[in-house]
Amino acid sequence: MKVVVVNEIREHERRVALVPELVGRLTGAGLEVVVESGAGRAARFPDSAYEDAGARIASTDVLDGADVVLSVQPLEPSRMAQLSNGAMTVSFLPATQELDVVRAARDASVTSFSVELVPRISRAQSMDALTSQALVAGYRAVLIAAERLPRFFPLSMTAAGTVPPAEVLVLGAGVAGLQAIATARRLGARVAAYDVRAAAAEEIRSLGAQFVDLELPSLEGSGGYAREMTEERAQLQRDLLAPHVSASDVVITTAAVPGRAAPLLVERAAVEAMRPGSVVVDLAAESGGNVEGSQPGLEHEVGEALLIGGRNVPSQLPVHASRLYAANLVNLLLLMTSDGKVTPDFDDEIVDAACVTHDGTVRLETVREALGEGS
Ligand SMILES: NC(=O)c1ccc[n+]([C@@H]2O[C@H](COP(=O)([O-])OP(=O)(O)OC[C@H]3O[C@@H](n4cnc5c(N)ncnc54)[C@H](O)[C@@H]3O)[C@@H](O)[C@H]2O)c1
């Protein structure tokens, strides 16, 4: 069967869905790998590296005869419509926001998988692209802040005097937040962090950071995720966090609640009260923002602090973001492969949960509702 890796055409996307190093895992399973010419260029993987690894490079009609199409961003509707009945796509696919893509997949009888929907169970850890890309984003956010901060991160004792370490506050200590904590610690900053989940306090401390205890009840939802809070609690939390924000040189926010807009954690006044030159990086800017006024891909001064809104932050480190993402896709694809054939088994809970369209139907109730199809 033919597995095709396409060029990413969306703005700011520099990742690629398969890296040369992993081509052999697919060919070794009896699959043919075809890479659209230039697909890996922005991630620094030349066509020749894919060829050396056993893939074929195609410049035209790349989707002809494709059985499986791998991409980072969802395949655009016009390309989805070119696929043959029963072909499969695997990519990020925020289905309720990408209704044109879902409609095109349904109408072409394409079996589409959304990597966001891979369940967070132990068996699926190696296929969990949300985790792999959050790791990259958490690391990168600290480097963005360190680069823009007009001060040192580490304590430095020199003949010319002692430079105190930067004070870094991380809000939201999930995958991205914990990686941000670890990275800021490695750079020598003094780090504090807050999260609403009970387990987070111990995880934060185990990385050598201080847990900011607001003495509020923890909020745990299902699957180890946070739960949405009342507006009254949210305001109380913002008020209690404000002095911690204002006393920090760097604030990195990563808070999210699945299926909801990002919670607002930091008001403008708290940023305005930060020391001149302080830096705030909001990794949740694309989903509404944790910091009042943050915009994805934009930065501006708030008081004398710099507020930076993240946009596709994993794509800023395309080599390793692609490497990890590709491993997630290969593991998911091989889960569905035997004897050189990719056949989804919907009795497997991973396959069942991650599939958006199959056989001309939309499998998710929420997406059917968003399409106005009802149940
Ligand atoms: N395979 C697995 O079992 C698996 C994989 C990944 C993550 N997880 C678990 O899920 C947890 C969260 O994962 P994630 O990082 O993808 O979550 P996420 O991206 O949905 O959220 C990021 C963090 O924001 C926090 N948050 C939400 N609202 C907040 C608020 N108002 N104030 C402060 N913090 C707030 C959440 O508790 C979470 O830790 C992880 O820490 C981990 O324990 C499990």
**CA 287 from chain center: how many Å?**
11
| Cα separations in angstroms, 94 against 97, 130, 354, 367, 369 | 6, 12, 11, 10, 15
| Residue type for position 3 | V
Average pLDDT over residues 52-56: 98
Range 249-275 average pLDDT: 94
State what percent of residues in the chain have pLDDT above 90. 93
* pLDDT grade for 173, boundaries at 50, 70 and 90: very high
Mutation test of ligand 1: which of 194, 196, 225 has the most ligand atoms closer than 8 Å to its C-beta?
Answer: 225
**Cα(176) to centroid of ligand 1, in Å?**
8
Check if 360 has its Cβ closer than 6 Å to any atom of ligand 1.
no
What mean pLDDT do residues 52-79 have?
A: 97
What pLDDT does 226 receive?
77
Euclidean distance between CA atoms 164 and 58, whole angstroms: 55
Taking the domains of the chain in order of start, what are their residue ranges?
2-127+319-370, 137-311
Residue 374 pLDDT > 70: no
pLDDT at 336 over 60: yes
**Ligand 1 atom index nearest CA of 178:** 41
Assess whether pLDDT exceeds 60 at residue 300.
yes
Q: Do 313 and 141 meet the contact criterion of CB atoms below 8 Å apart?
A: yes
Domain 2-127+319-370 CATH (choose: 1.25.10.10, 3.30.565.10, 3.40.50.720, 3.40.50.2300): 3.40.50.720
Write the residue with the smallest CA distance to atom 14 of ligand 1.
174
pLDDT tens, residue by residue, 224-261 = 777 778 899 999 999 999 999 999 999 999 998 877 88
- The mean per-residue pLDDT over the stretch 24-48 comes to 98
Q: Are 281 and 252 in contact (CB under 8 A)?
A: yes
pLDDT at 212: 97
**Fold for the domain defined by 137-311:** Rossmann fold (3.40.50)
Buried/exposed 291-321: b ≥16 CB within 10 Å, e otherwise: bbbbebeeeeebbebbbbbbbbbbbbbbebb
- From the CA atom positions of the chain, what is the Rg in Å? 22
Tell me the pLDDT of the chain averaged across its residues. Answer: 96
How many Å lie between the centroid of ligand 1 and the Cα of residue 66? 36
> pLDDT-derived band of residue 79, with 50, 70 and 90 as boundaries?
very high
Beta carbon of 120 within 6 Å of any ligand 1 atom = yes
Is pTM, for the whole model, over 0.75?
Answer: yes
Q: What's the pLDDT tens digit per position in 96-151? A: 999 999 999 999 999 999 999 999 999 999 999 999 999 999 999 999 999 999 99
* Atom from ligand 1 closest to the CA of residue 197: 37
| pLDDT digit string, tens, across residues 174-219 | 999 999 999 999 999 999 999 999 899 999 999 999 999 999 988 8
